[in-house]
């Protein structure tokens, strides 16, 4: 039983580590000042802030719901299942925690302890000590490099081939960044905030949808092109062209890098480079439902296990969160290159993989209680093209480029634009508010 070392605790020297009514077309103005593309946390926050200041805003969303990557499903398992964001990170400063408490949601601190297994046995004290030592050594290497401004990949610094390396790689890479150790920058990693995590029993997506009640959004309206050649902006959408003075683009860098939204004339080269440089990681949930608490763990219990070393290949393993919210649901989350592999193989293969991992730890008896599973595929989702973004090695400077407007008419917002809370819902909201203030000042 221990805690993970966090980025900031390293510096502190602290040792170890639904559905709500949304729309009302009537109040979207015919000649808006601003068009907001995307109704995730960033677009919703920007919309509300601008409208509160009296600006005319049309917010369009390609899918048929708001929330984007923050969404809770209740239809698959009959209980809340966060298909995207689940952890309310940095709870001390996360406004969604306060909002939840004020609005009667059941939010609570995430237990940080975890069970550690080697095969089907609990790790011995000695094995656990070796894992903690390996984990600490890697965190310290990445943190030191990040702090020193070394914009390199962790793979450059961290020796592989050590007994617990694959698990450490999984926990700090795939499970946290959605990327393997060769695909993100130490400086970027270091720039991220962290702190205590909270859960919302009703689902983080449910909470976001509640927070966004009353914000008018044009659902089922996909933007295909932003034209900015004359004065102002025109956005071509699946439901016609809308013109305004400015536009806020909140779609992911994955969508932008993949050409899911076109710009005429083309955006400056540096901006286009930024879409590729602040690239999307992949992090997928594989959720397994059991009839009862067949794993015998406490609620929201993390389980880690020794993963076989596979040379320099991405670790083939999952981060387990058992008895999610006390619901007999268990998450087996995968990230990075291995998640990509599983996503290509499909949902059935992903579920088989997750069941196999649990079987190896808890025995085949778990099969008797198994009801069904579900696997997300955020990489194949063309409205996200990945899970969340981080800087490629050597590309940290592009974070700043992404935050710069183009022609004083096109602003980018969203999780990737947050300075310190990137890859989070709170960071997306913060970025939306930040950009809304700039747009208001510019107009
Ligand atoms: C599996 C997973 C787990 C995660 N876990 C956590 C977590 O535990 N905690 C946490 O805080 N964060 C987590 N995140 C990250 C978090 O969900 C995101 O950082 C955040 O929700 C992003 O918000 P956004 O507004 O920037 O983008 P989005 O939510 O992606 O919003 C952009 C919107 O634009 C829409 N769109 C795309 N293309 C178009 C178009 N052409 N026209 C119109 N609309 C378009 C999309 O449908 C989407 O609704 C997770 C994400 C995933 C995928």
Give pLDDT tens digits for 263-317.
999 999 999 999 999 999 999 999 999 999 999 999 999 999 999 887 767 899 9
Q: Give the mutation target among 73, 84, 335 for probing the ligand 1 site: most ligand atoms within 8 A of CB.
A: 84
Q: From the CA of 414, give the closest atom in ligand 1.
A: 26
CA 315 to CA 119: how far, in whole Å? Answer: 16
Q: Is the pLDDT of residue 212 over 80?
A: yes
DSSP secondary structure letter of residue 375: E
Distance CA 226, CA 192 (A): 31
Closest of 71, 443, 26 to residue 248, by C-alpha: 443
Closest ligand 1 atom number to CA of residue 224: 41
Select from 40, 86, 209, 420 the residue to mutate for testing ligand 1; criterion: most ligand atoms less than 8 Å from CB: 40
Average pLDDT over residues 397-405: 98
pLDDT score, position 30: 78
**What's the CA gap between 81 and 393, in Å, rounded?**
33
With vertex at residue 211, the alpha carbon angle to CA 384 and CA 234, rounded to the nearest 5 degrees, is 50
Q: Which of 35, 36, 38, 248 to mutate to test the pocket of ligand 1 (most atoms within 8 A of CB)?
A: 38
Q: Exposed, middle or buried by CB within 10 Å (0-12, 13-18, 19+), for 292?
A: exposed
Kindly report which listed range (184-193, 206-215, 310-319) carries the lowest average pLDDT score: 310-319
Residue 309 confidence (pLDDT): 81
Distance 145 CA to ligand 1 centre (A): 29
Whole-angstrom Cα distance, residue 130 to residue 124?
Answer: 10
For residue 48, give the H/E element and its range. Answer: helix 41-52
Mean pLDDT of all residues in 355-365: 97
Measuring CA to CA, which residue among 170, 182, 208 is closest to residue 80?
208
What domains sit in the chain, N to C, each tagged with a CATH number? 30-67+212-280+383-442 (3.50.50.60), 111-195+283-375 (3.90.660.10)
- CA 69 – ligand 1 centroid, Å: 3
CB atoms within 10 A of CB 70: 28
On average, the pLDDT of the chain sits at: 93
Q: How confident is the model at residue 150 (pLDDT cuts 50, 70, 90)?
A: very high
Q: Whose CA is nearest to atom 13 of ligand 1?
A: 85
- Going by alpha carbons, the residue nearest to atom 41 of ligand 1 is 223
- Residue nearest atom 38 of ligand 1, based on CA coordinates: 383
DSSP 194: -
pLDDT band at 41 (very low <50, low <70, confident <90, very high): very high
Task: Provide the 8-state DSSP code for 85.
Answer: -
Q: In the prediction, which pLDDT does 27 show?
A: 52
Query: Using CA atoms in the order 337, 385, 45, 331, what is the torsion angle rounded to 10 degrees?
Result: -40
Mutate which of 97, 236, 251, 375 for ligand 1? The one with the most ligand atoms within 8 Å of its CB, which is 251
Report yes or no: 9 and 143 within 8 Å, Cβ to Cβ. Answer: no
Residue 60: what are its φ and ψ, rounded to 5°?
A: -115, 145
Residues with CB under 6 A from ligand 1: 37-43, 60-63, 68-70, 84-87, 89, 222-223, 250-252, 255, 260-261, 283, 285, 376, 378, 383-384, 387-388, 414-415, 423-426, 428
Mean pLDDT of 58-77: 98
At residue 295, what are phi and psi to the nearest 5 degrees?
A: -85, -15
Q: Say what percent of the chain tops pLDDT 90.
A: 89
Q: How far apart are CA 198 and CA 330, in angstroms?
A: 17
Q: Where are the beta strands (DSSP E) in 81-131?
A: 81-82, 107-109, 114-118, 121-122
What is the predicted pLDDT for the residue at 10?
45
Separation of alpha carbons 388 and 254, rounded Å: 9
Candidates 3, 11, 302; CA nearest to 132 is 3
Q: Which two tokens stand for residue 104?
A: 């009667």
> What distance in angstroms lies between residue 159's CA and the mean position of ligand 1's atoms?
34
Residue 19 pLDDT > 50, yes or no?
no
Residue whose CB lies within 8 A of the most ligand 1 atoms, among 287, 342, 388, for a mutation test: 388
DSSP state of 191: H
> What is the C-alpha separation between 384 and 250, in angstroms, rounded?
11
Residue 8 pLDDT class (50, 70, 90 cuts)? very low
Phi-psi region of 60 (alpha: psi -120 to 50; beta: other; left: phi over 0): beta
Length of the chain: 443
Structure tokens belonging to residue 419: 């300075």
- DSSP structure string for 253-297: HHHHHTTSSEEESPPPHHHHHHHHHEEEE-EE-EEEEESS-TT-P
CA torsion 105-370-306-12 (nearest 10°) is 0
Convert the pLDDT of each residue in 335-354 to its tens digit: 999 999 999 999 999 999 99
pLDDT grade, residue 162 (50/70/90)? confident
Report how far ligand 1's centroid is from the alpha carbon of 14 (Å): 32
Q: Measure 70 CA to ligand 1 centroid, in angstroms.
A: 6
Predicted TM-score (pTM) of the model is 0.95
Q: Is the pLDDT of residue 332 over 80?
A: yes
pLDDT band (50, 70, 90) for residue 365 = very high
Whole-angstrom distance, CA of residue 97 vs CA of residue 90? 9
Q: Say if residues 66 and 215 touch (Cβ distance below 8 Å).
A: yes
Answer yes or no: is pLDDT of 21 > 50. no
Answer whether residue 1 shows pLDDT above 60: no
SS3 assignment, position 57:
strand
* Banded model confidence at residue 130, pLDDT cuts 50, 70, 90: very high
Q: Is the pLDDT of residue 235 over 70?
A: yes
429 alpha carbon – ligand 1 mean position (Å): 11
Rounded distance between C-alpha atoms, residue 409 and residue 428, angstroms = 20
Q: List the single range of 163-167, 212-216, 222-226 with lowest mean pLDDT.
A: 163-167
Closest Cα to atom 26, ligand 1: which residue?
414
- Report the nearest-CA residue for atom 50 of ligand 1: 85
pLDDT band per the 50, 70, 90 thresholds, residue 5: very low
User: Which of the 8 DSSP states describes residue 190?
Assistant: H
């Amino acid at each position: 039983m221990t805690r993970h070392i966090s980025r900031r605790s390293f510096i502190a020297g602290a040792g170890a580590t639904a559905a709500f009514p949304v729309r009302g077309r009537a109040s979207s103005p015919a000649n808006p000042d601003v068009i907001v593309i995307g109704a995730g946390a960033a677009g919703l926050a920007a919309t509300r802030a601008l409208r509160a200041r009296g600006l005319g805003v049309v917010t369009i969303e390609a899918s048929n719901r708001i929330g984007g990557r923050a969404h809770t499903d209740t239809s698959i398992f009959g209980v809340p299942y966060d298909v995207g964001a689940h952890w309310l990170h940095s709870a001390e400063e996360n406004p969604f925690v306060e909002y939840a408490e004020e609005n009667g949601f059941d939010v609570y601190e995430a237990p940080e302890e975890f069970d550690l297994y080697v095969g089907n046995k609990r790790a011995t004290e000695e094995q656990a000590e070796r894992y903690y030592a390996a984990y600490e050594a890697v965190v310290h290497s990445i943190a030191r490099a990040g702090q020193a401004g070394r914009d390199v990949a962790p793979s450059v610094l961290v020796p592989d081939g050590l007994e617990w390396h694959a698990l450490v790689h999984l926990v700090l890479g795939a499970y946290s960044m959605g990327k393997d150790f060769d695909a993100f920058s130490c400086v970027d990693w270091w720039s991220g905030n962290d702190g205590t995590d909270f859960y919302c029993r009703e689902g983080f997506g449910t909470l976001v949808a509640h927070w966004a009640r009353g914000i008018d959004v044009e659902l089922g309206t996909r933007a295909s092109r932003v034209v900015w050649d004359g004065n102002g902006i025109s956005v071509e959408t699946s439901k016609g062209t809308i013109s305004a003075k400015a536009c806020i683009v909140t779609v992911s860098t994955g969508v932008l890098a993949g050409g899911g939204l076109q710009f005429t004339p083309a955006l400056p080269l540096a901006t286009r480079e930024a879409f590729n440089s602040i690239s999307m990681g992949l992090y997928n949930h594989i959720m397994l439902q059991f009839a009862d608490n067949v794993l015998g763990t406490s609620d929201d219990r993390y389980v880690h296990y020794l993963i076989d070393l596979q040379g320099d290949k991405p670790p083939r393993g999952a981060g387990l969160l058992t008895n999610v919210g006390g619901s007999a649901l268990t998450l087996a989350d995968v990230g990075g290159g291995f998640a990509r592999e599983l996503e290509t193989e499909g949902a059935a293969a992903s579920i088989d993989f997750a069941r196999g991992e649990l079987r190896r730890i808890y025995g085949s008896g778990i099969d008797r209680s198994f009801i069904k599973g579900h696997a997300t595929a955020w990489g194949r989702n063309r409205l996200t093209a990945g899970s969340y973004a981080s800087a490629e090695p050597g590309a940290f400077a592009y974070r700043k480029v992404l935050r710069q407007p183009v022609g004083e008419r096109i602003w980018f917002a969203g999780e990737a634009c947050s300075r310190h809370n990137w890859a989070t819902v709170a960071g997306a909201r913060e970025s939306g508010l930040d950009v809304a203030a700039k747009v208001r000042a510019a107009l």
